Amino acid sequence: MTTATTPGRVGPAADPVREFTRRVSELTGPALPFGAEELAALDAADAFPAEACRALDAAGLPRSYVPAEHGGDLADFTVVLRLLRAVSRIDLTVAAAHGKTYLGAVSTWIAGDDDAARRLGRRIADGEVVSCALTERDHGSDLLAGEVTARPAPGGGWLLDGEKWLINNVTRAGLVTVLARTDEEGGPRGFTLFLVDKARLAPGTFTHLPKVPTYGIRGADISGISFAGAHLPEDALVGAVGQGVEIIVKALHITRTCCAAMSLGAGDHALRLAADFAATHGT
């Protein structure tokens, strides 16, 4: 099925990547969001590329993170890969910062009900940032060792406690998909996913942790979040109780290909730099 593209948006029409690349390339000059000197200065200062991310929002990139059945433009996942490669070709930090929203949302695309998916799709299309909080300070990527807990709350919902750390965009995001232990014994069926809306949490029940200095993508918001009895409504649940690990593994099977696409974009950038150098220097 062919779908027409709304003017000014990236969509599943013919060759959306070419149009997107053209629009972004117009913003690569001096004093523009994707200017080389501007991005280099942000990297040197460990500063988040907010203006560049807003430019991607204006170009319609968030709609490409949302499946067409949920109101977005995503009909072919290879288009997402090509779009992220195009951004990485200019600046890898910007691609990692902006593309994190897809990782944050994909669990809802996999296991959320239709109403929840459409609500999330509308918010992403409007520019909402979504993060995904899996790792913890003492356990790294060992998801089955996670200590963040969610327990049933009196009167309904859940109470979330514990700390997630080294999470991309968790401070800047309004929504965070959180993997939490819901069975004291843990195990493959002992964890559940929740889509946490920080705007709905009571004051004092969550705290942002400081940004962590990194060797690469230095401007990215790599930080953490701590919960202390944060009450989540029933509709925060993503999938069924105990299915969190199963869902997130499926999600990672998809999103890891995005990492490959961004690496290819970074390689394109390096190749262009090398070619430019070779063209201007004698042997």
Contact predicate 180/191, CB 8 Å: yes
Read off the tokens for 76: 């072919």
3-state secondary structure the chain: CCCCCCCCCCCCCCCHHHHHHHHHHCCCCCCCCCCHHHHHHHHHCCCCCHHHHHHHHHCCHHHHHCEHHHCCCECCHHHHHHHHHHHHCCCHHHHHHHHHHHHHHHHHHHHCCHHHHHHHHHHHHCCCCEEEECCECCCECCHHHCCCEEEECCCCCEEEEEEEEEEECCCCCCEEEEEEECCCCCCCCCEEEEEEEHHHCCCCCEEEECCCCCCCCCCCCEEEEEEEEEEECHHHEECCCCCHHHHHHHHHHHHHHHHHHHHHHHHHHHHHHHHHHHHHCCC
User: Tell me, what amino acid is at 8?
Assistant: G
User: Which residue matches tokens 């190749």?
Assistant: 271
CATH topology agreement for domains 16-128+255-280 and 130-247? no
Residues of the chain with pLDDT under 70: 1-14, 283
* Distance separating the N- and C-terminal Cα atoms of the chain: 53
Alpha carbon distance 227, 136 (integer Å): 13
pLDDT tens digits along 228-237: 999 999 999 9
What is the tally of helices (H) and strands (E) in the chain?
7, 8
What is the predicted pLDDT for the residue at 283?
Answer: 62
* Predicted TM-score of the model (pTM): 0.92
Cβ-proximal residues to 90 (8 Å cutoff; 6+ apart), any chain: 24, 28, 34, 39, 265, 269
* Chain centre distance of CA 96: 8
pLDDT of residue 38: 97
How many C-beta atoms lie closer than 10 Å to residue 163's C-beta?
17
Angle between helices 77-88 and 92-111 (to 10 degrees): 160
Domain boundaries, the chain: 16-128+255-280, 130-247
Q: How far apart are CA 140 and CA 266, in angstroms?
A: 25
CA 8, CA 15: separation in Å to the nearest integer? Answer: 14
Q: Which two tokens stand for residue 107?
A: 């669990």
pLDDT of residue 10: 45
- 282: which DSSP letter? -
| CATH homologous superfamily of 130-247 | Butyryl-CoA Dehydrogenase, subunit A, domain 2 (2.40.110.10)
CATH code for the structural domain at 16-128+255-280: 1.10.540.10
